[in-house]
Structure 1
Amino acid sequence: MSPITKTLLLLLPFLPQVTTAQTLPRPTPRQLAWQQMETTAFLHFTVNTYTDKEWGDGTESPQIFNPVKFDARQWIRSLKEAGFKLAIITAKHHDGFCLWPTQTTEHSVKNSPWKGGKGDVVREVADACRQYGLKFGVYLSPWDRHEPSYGTAAYNDFYKKQLRELLTNYGPIAEVWFDGAKGENAKNMTYDFAGYWAMVRQLQPQAVMFSDAGPDVRWVGNESGNAAETCWSTIDNSKHAPGVADSKYLNTGDPNGKDFIPAETDVSIRPGWFYHPKEDSKVRSGKNLVNLYYQSVGRNSLLLLNIPPNRDGLLSDADVASIKEFRSILNETFKTNLAKGAAKSGLTDGFMNTMAITPVNKPLEVTFRNPITFDRMLLQENISSGQRVMEGQVEYWDGTDWKPIQTFTTVGYKRLLRFQPVTTDKVRVTFTAAKGDVVELAEMGIFKASSRE
């Protein structure tokens, strides 16, 4: 028995019981592609934009919907310039108003004054995404406060017709968002989620599906932009369903979970999800968004940032300026990987399938020709073969001894560490606990943060 194995066995009594490395749940290709996008955008837009509400009640007249300066290209161009990879439009929110000229109800843009009833928000957003190279997604609220059939079995057929229209008429769809929200006094309704999901798999097989419990992507458990410090991509999904979820459990995931369903961190750039004029002075700053990035992408999640169009049908100047500053700061921080040329080449090439097989409790040391000063570190696992890291630590050489910088727990797709500046010519990372005897480390980055962070 090797010393590494002996050490691992000594640690196991003090660690959660976990699945062995040989049986680790693994992501599908669509889940891998989704997580590598890192930053995606929500676009909350409907009659609520004009009523100053967050949840409409379904009695709103289509006549109030009239974004006279509507320009989906401005939305998507702004997102593209800020580095976002996908945009999800609220095709129908809880009020039941449809942003496309659906055949299922009169409660849609076809009965609004916008473009004389000939407009189609979903079409224009999808087209703009193709023009600027973003992926496209749709949100279709299961809860519908306008539709009379809601609460009966007939509503499932109604909903599937709407879903089919979106899945067949607007080109490739990368994500379908199933919201579990429903008011406490809403009618009882048994949703046919299995049927909804089967339709997505049939008509858009490359799309990931979000709900509180997947099946592809799960909720992070809050709307404040925080994945947990310990965040597993695995959960036990047998006790969860859309709208029925343990937010604390979803926030951390489960090292024993048999289902690979990574977390999506959804948060708004404003206090509300829809545009409200009174919130124009409350837009998150670029620096604030950078912090959200560390707390989401940097904790093995994905950042889904909501940027709501205003009543003119444009993204507001303050919101656009903020997301551009956000990307500018990130680019400045992560432009130069100080580990390049010092760490093994496969760890700094940007490819997840080149890696260093690192034994548990064996330090991975990086030596520099000259001392460097840094305060950020990036670690990535090869998650295509599962998530392994449970605990680890980073240290630096002070000339006579190794000194601690920071400890960490899960890594997964990406772990970003922040700490006070350190100057040294040697750094080492040790994975002190993992599923199995080794860790597949795909990427390592050492950086000096932008002064604007």
Structure 2
Amino acid sequence: MKRTHLLLAGLLCGNMAFAQSIKPYGALPSKAQVAWNDMEYYMFIHFGPNTFTNKEWGHGDEDPKVFNPTRLDARQWARTAKLAGMKGIVITAKHHDGFCLWPSKYSTHTVRESAWKNGKGDVLAELSAACKEYGLKFGVYLSPWDRNHPEYGTPTYNQVFANTLNEVLSNYGPVFEQWFDGANGGNVKQPYDWNLFHSVVYKNQPNAVIFSDVGPGCRWVGNENGIAGTTNWSTLNVTGFAPGEAGPPAKSLNEGNEDGEKWIPAECDVSIRPGWFYSPDTDDKVKTVNQLLDIYYGSVGRNGNLILNVPIDRDGVIHPNDSTRLMELRKVLDASFKNNLAKNAVVTATDTRTGDAAVKVKHLNDGTNATYWATTDKATKAAITLSFKKPVTFNRLVLQEYIALGQRVKAFTVEILENGRKKEIASETTIGHKRILRLPDYTTTEVYINITDAKAAPVISEVQLFEAPGVLATPVISRDRNGAVTIRSASDDQVVHVTLDGSEPTAASPVYLQPQESSDNTVTVIRGAKDGKIIRDISLPKGGTVKAKAFLHKTNTTGPTVVADFDVAPAKWTVVSAPAAARDHAAEKAIDGNPDSFYITDKNSSAAYPHELVADLGEELTLRGFTYLPVAGAGGVIYGYALYVSTDGKNWGKAAASGSFGNIKNNPILQKVTFSPVKARYIRFVATAPASEKDNKAGIAELGIITR
């Protein structure tokens, strides 16, 4: 009888615990997706013939022998990623040009046909081994678009690609992520069999997370800037959508869909340089630490994962400029998140769930997202309080939900105790896997996190506070239409040293003093200036190179070198003819030297592609190329182009350059096109095709020339 009573008591306790257990809400992540989210930050590598041809999108007609990285060192790549704090590497095993970084038996455009190692090399084998050695996860990018394979565009190609995919996924060990994009361009369109492709992935790599515009493992964030929406749901509606042109709207990709059909979290892709593949032209264009911090907080800090592209150079290694910047970023991040102040707090919360042994308030500041606290089922609002015996100063707040049970929090605020009263310091929306708030310095003894709205009972795994160190502000160099150069610095504590001869700025270089800082030409002693060396007015109407670096002399620290290369200023330029412009965006803004203004054709105009703009340079010059800066965010991005030149504005002849800007739709950065030197006073820029098929407009933020 006693045993029966004990059994009944045990069953009742078990039923009570079951009754209090947390019910999952909405679409849920798989174990692989949870593990993927925990990776947070990893490396993307773009490498192939484009590395040697200075192209972003190769045409597939490159001689494979151009690929010859004589010092290729995959261990250096992996070692760099590890030291940078990254958790894995995804490599472009096959880009749109069809070149395979392994000796595929389904292609004749591979490393086997290259000059590298006399055709005996295998980049994937070397990298997968290096990742294993350094404890990194290994991932692959294979583009279904193939501009080289003769069967592309035929009914048999999908099986060819499936075979290629199977070859990679069955020969190089575990793959944590399979990266697909929906690129399907050129004159030939291939209906992709995504079901077939996915089946090959899961057959070989059942735990792989598949990336595309619609997942199913993770989604593109909708831009190539590495920035997720301030509201970011890990759920997405996918019915009726497909990768590529048929993908969800940019807003949905960037923010997800509240109560979306599937759990497809955002992955934020961005390159450490302006382009994705290595180019010697961008050795001095590596993103600054401040830019990378903005990206980190806009991705990992907004419920996304950051995949940062670090291209391999022509020797086959990561360039020193890139690796140095990665280490600088790691140093700042380590210092920022070194000491979790919340661990010393007394934590209390309202509406704590009872009857569930897994739910504890102390889990909120135990330093792991594997444990959690939760409210009762009916409570969709709650308050968490961190109390300190002595005042603490913080400027970073980290919040995490226990995503295995779904994403729930819809809105929250943060308050502190100041002068005996509560003061609101932040009001935000979603949390998800991780939310990091960058705040001014606040000193207090109490911090309040108020969950003001949730889809279901909030389940929070972590609340953390940190005091991140300050970072030198990076100088910004600009030039106006007449050639006057301005250097702006956001900090009053630092000094900007400048050179105009191409040399590296040092503490002995002249100090740049903005004209408005002083009108006294007799000033000879400026903070940080040595021997009275100062520069106020910089004018480069004919072009030149400006290098600037910020110095904090009291702590003997320096920021990255910022480089600006200028060509002839457009002071004498005039527009001869152009299509009608949208209101407030006259054609002159395409050549005004100001990248923040732009010209865009009138969307209501009956004019369709091609669009053209003719400009008079005001003098005869020797042109060696041109530059085109697209209009980001306003449409009208140009894909196909032709540039004609003339000495008299009447006789144009054959185009000096024509072609297409690879990947410009997703990465609308400055495009540079070079050609054989030619004398010209007039240029005629023709937009032959839009980046988006349905976009009839053409836009130019800035059109420039290359003479140097």
The CA distance in 2 between the partners of 1:55 and 1:155, in whole Å, is 20
Match of 1:91 in 2: 93
Give the aligned residue type for 2:374: I
Match of 1:148 in 2: 150
Match of 1:434 in 2: 454
Of residues 136, 156, 159, the one that matches 1:157 is: 159
TM-aligned CA distance change 1:110 to 1:22, over 3 Å: closer
Q: Is the 8 A contact 1:360 1:430 kept in 2?
A: no
The CA distance in 2 between the partners of 1:21 and 1:396, in whole Å, is 32
Q: Tell me whether 1:236 sits opposite 2:255 in the alignment.
A: no
The CA distance in 2 between the partners of 1:291 and 1:206, in whole Å, is 31
The CA distance in 1 between the partners of 2:461 and 2:422, in whole Å, is 24
Of residues 341, 353, 356, the one that matches 2:370 is: 353
Match of 2:119 in 1: 117
Higher normalized contact order (CA 8 Å, seq sep 6+, divided by chain length): 1
Matched pairs, number: 432
Match of 1:393 in 2: 413
Match of 1:36 in 2: 38
Match of 1:205 in 2: 206
Q: Is the 8 A contact 2:399 2:431 kept in 1?
A: yes
Q: Is the 8 A contact 2:25 2:405 kept in 1?
A: no
More helix by share: 1
Q: Is the 8 A contact 2:268 2:304 kept in 1?
A: yes
Tell me the C-alpha RMSD between the 2 structures: 1.3
Match of 2:191 in 1: 190
Q: Helix, strand or coil for the counterpart of 2:121?
A: coil
Q: Tell me whether 1:225 sits opposite 2:226 in the alignment.
A: yes
Give the aligned residue type for 1:378: V
Aligned 1:17-416 pairs, distance under 5 A: 23-183=25-185, 185-243=186-244, 244-245=246-247, 246-342=249-345, 343=347, 344-358=361-375, 359-416=379-436
Post-superposition Cα deviations, 1:103-152, rounded to whole Å, max 9, x if no partner, equal 01111000111101100011111110001010000100000000111011
After TM superposition, the score normalised by the length of structure 1 is: 0.93
TM-aligned CA distance change 1:415 to 1:43, over 3 Å: same
Q: Is the 8 A contact 2:213 2:220 kept in 1?
A: yes
Cα offset, 1:419, TM superposition: 1.4
Identical aligned residues as a percent? 48
Q: Structure 2, unaligned stretches of length 5 or more?
A: 1-21, 348-360, 473-708
Q: Helix, strand or coil for the counterpart of 1:315?
A: coil
Post-superposition Cα deviations, 1:7-38, rounded to whole Å, max 9, x if no partner, equal xxxxxxxxxxxxx9754111000000101000
Match of 1:6 in 2: none
More strand by share: 2
Q: Is the 8 A contact 1:375 1:419 kept in 2?
A: yes
The CA distance in 2 between the partners of 1:264 and 1:340, in whole Å, is 30
Q: Is the 8 A contact 1:21 1:435 kept in 2?
A: no
Q: Helix, strand or coil for the counterpart of 2:458?
A: strand
The CA distance in 2 between the partners of 1:350 and 1:135, in whole Å, is 24
Cα offset, 1:390, TM superposition: 0.4
Q: Is the 8 A contact 1:286 1:324 kept in 2?
A: no
Match of 2:516 in 1: none
Q: Helix, strand or coil for the counterpart of 2:334?
A: helix
The CA distance in 2 between the partners of 1:413 and 1:451, in whole Å, is 26
Cα offset, 1:202, TM superposition: 1.1
Give the aligned residue type for 1:349: D
The CA distance in 1 between the partners of 2:25 and 2:427, in whole Å, is 27
Cα offset, 1:417, TM superposition: 0.6
Q: Tell me whether 1:424 sits opposite 2:426 in the alignment.
A: no
Cα offset, 1:400, TM superposition: 2.0
